[in-house]
Amino acid sequence: MKKILYSFLFLSSMGCYTMYGLVLQQEKSNIIPSKPHVNYTLKKTPEEIPKSIIFIIADGTGIGQYSLSYYANGAFAPARFHHIGLVATHPNHGQCGTTCKRVTDSAASGTALSSGIKSYNGAIGVDTDTLAVKTMLEWAEEKNMATGLVATSTVTHATPASFAAHVEYRKLEAEIARQFAGAEIETILGGGKKYWPEELINEFVNKNGQFISRIDADVDPSKRLLGLFSEDALPAAHEGRNPSTTEMAMLAINHLDENPNGFFVMIEESQVDWGGHANSAEYIRGEMASLNDLVNHLLDYQLLHPEVLVVLTADHECGGVVIHDGPDSDLDVRFTSDYHSANFVPVFATGPGAEVFDGFFDNTEIGKILINYIRANEINAR
């Protein structure tokens, strides 16, 4: 016994013991130098061009959040997608080697996804010089496609705002709402009525629009639709969100899909991100269950409408989520921070043109390829 004890003390003095009895000769370290990164591009060309595009953004959702959902929510809906890739999400913020940021916010990443242009954290539909960049929703409007935005946050929050507004800072939500009201978006559904005073709602209604505050309200299919179901963001899924993300998404698609030129809709599962900020595994579990339901419904729709491309990705990861074994087969969900990380995020796709998303690439490539699909559709229709 003494020999064993002496051996243990000797080995302990020579290095650091892990829980598995491995001796590590290295001290713990956290800060390492970085090098300029490469913005990798898509390497495939599409075999087909979609007529319509459903673009799902699960805000703050990385591999850890998908792992949580896989082990906590039953059948894993993203497994139904036919193609999958991996995406880098860094912004264009600062000089590499000195002030360069690798961690994006939802504004910069939303702008990258919507326009194919990198910008600084906080930027809504503008480049690093604060000049407006054209988004895929605006391209779709120019090509006479029907367009829509759906979010469980305020509809003027960073991600949806990046598709239809141009402001230098994401917190200018009243100005974003004003730009939304003056745009030609056919369908806007989500929260945030506090940013829409009566005169702004009337401006939308006077441009062949209608306003609803209940998901089951009667809707005129010939008029544009604004649905604001909460003063602020909608409730969290695990607290009984009403309407659900799926209900809003299906209302939007039913309102858009009669357009003979096709449609574009961005649907944001906004609050996975907020579960990461809160370091709340239960919050994330509920939002991922909502995402599961949404994906199942949209892929069922795509099966009946094979000309539609469905793409699911995230703007960034949030919380640095990692899954460990807990007691009695429970999950021990741990977090490295209460903010975003630079971890890569997955992209899933099914439908015409989906095969290009197999691989590793920069998030701007998603914006570029979807814009190219929209522009090509207009060329084919001539």
- Write down the pLDDT at residue 17: 56
**pLDDT in tens for each of the 382 residues of the chain?**
555 545 544 445 445 556 666 666 788 889 988 888 899 999 999 999 999 999 999 999 999 999 999 999 999 999 999 999 999 999 999 887 678 899 999 999 999 999 999 999 999 999 999 999 999 999 999 999 999 999 999 999 999 999 999 999 999 999 999 999 999 999 999 999 999 999 999 999 999 999 999 999 999 999 999 999 999 999 999 999 999 999 999 999 999 999 999 999 999 999 999 999 999 999 999 999 999 999 999 999 999 999 999 999 999 999 999 999 999 999 999 999 999 999 999 999 999 999 999 999 999 999 999 999 999 985 444 3
Identify the DSSP state of 106: H
Left (φ > 0), alpha (ψ -120 to 50) or beta: where does 325 sit?
Answer: beta
- The residue among 277, 265, 198, 292 whose CA lies nearest residue 233 is 277
- If you count them, how many residues does the chain have? 382
What is the value of pTM for the model shown?
A: 0.93
Active site residues: 106
Cβ-based neighbours of 268, under 8 Å, separated by 6 or more: 56, 57, 58, 59, 149, 150, 151, 152, 153, 157, 159, 160
Q: What is the pLDDT of residue 230?
A: 98
Other residues' Cβ atoms within 10 Å of the Cβ of residue 227: 25
**Gap between the Cα atoms of 96 and 102, Å rounded:** 9
Pairing status of strand 146-154 against strand 317-318: unpaired
**Which residues are CB-neighbours of 198 under 8 A, at least 6 positions away?**
none
Q: Tokens 């990692």 map to which residue? A: 322
Spell out the domains of the chain, with CATH numbers in brackets. 38-381 (3.40.720.10)
